[in-house]
Amino acid sequence: MSNMNSSVSNESISTIADGDSGEFVTMTIFDQLFGIPVSKVQDVLGPQVINKIPLAPPEVAGSLNLRGRIVTAIDIRKRLGLPPRPAGDEGMNVVVEHGTELYSLVIDTVGEVLSLPLSDYERNPSNLDELWRDVTAGIYQLDGKLMVVIDIDRLLTFNAAEAA
């Protein structure tokens, strides 16, 4: 275990796992691997009909109907300051719960579920883009790839701040 791992706060670890390992739903956004704790994921959906919401923040792609419940769709590329998806690429949706509301994270692709040891978890590197640091909990280095762990609570707090 590296010294960097020992400096990771218990608070950031508690956002990703409950025991000695964390399980993550992986996804790719603009060729970057991301992970969301499985405990935060409610559903994974293919392309959906998303209705625009007038005067919504740019990150809000619109809303969709999920089994009779209205769900706010968030364009994760916009939220992370990335270029838009190519025309015709509708992406996929990962549904998460934040507070009492459901949100659909519009992403490029969903990968597999990984169970990773907390001993390999590292805090965000200092050279990670500030916008990404604000919405992520840390990283895992996996076989030549970097998996950035998204902190759902921090990713979705922009709604409350902009609505006030």
Q: How many domains does the chain have?
A: 1
Contacts 24+ apart (CB under 8 A), 153-160: 153/15, 153/98, 155/74, 155/79, 155/105, 156/74, 156/96, 156/98, 156/103, 158/57, 158/59, 158/79, 159/57, 159/60, 159/72
pLDDT in tens, 1-20: 343 444 444 445 455 555 67
Give the whole-angstrom CA distance, residue 131 versus residue 123: 15
| Pairing label, strands 32-37, 145-150 | parallel
CA–CA gap between residue 71 and residue 103 (Å, rounded): 5
Task: Look up residue 10 and give its two tokens.
Answer: 């218990």
Rounded distance between C-alpha atoms, residue 123 and residue 141, angstroms: 11
Is the Cβ–Cβ distance between 35 and 25 less than 8 Å? yes
Query: 94 is in which domain, residue-wise?
Result: 3-163
pLDDT at position 38 over 90: yes
N- to C-terminal Cα distance for the chain? 43
64-121, pLDDT tens digit by residue?
A: 999 999 999 999 999 999 999 988 888 999 999 998 999 999 999 999 999 999 999 9
C-alpha 75/C-alpha 107 separation (Å) is 7
Beta strands 101-107 and 69-75, pairing class: parallel
Which CATH number do you get for residue 20? 2.40.50.180
Query: What integer pLDDT is reported at residue 17 of this predicted model?
Result: 55
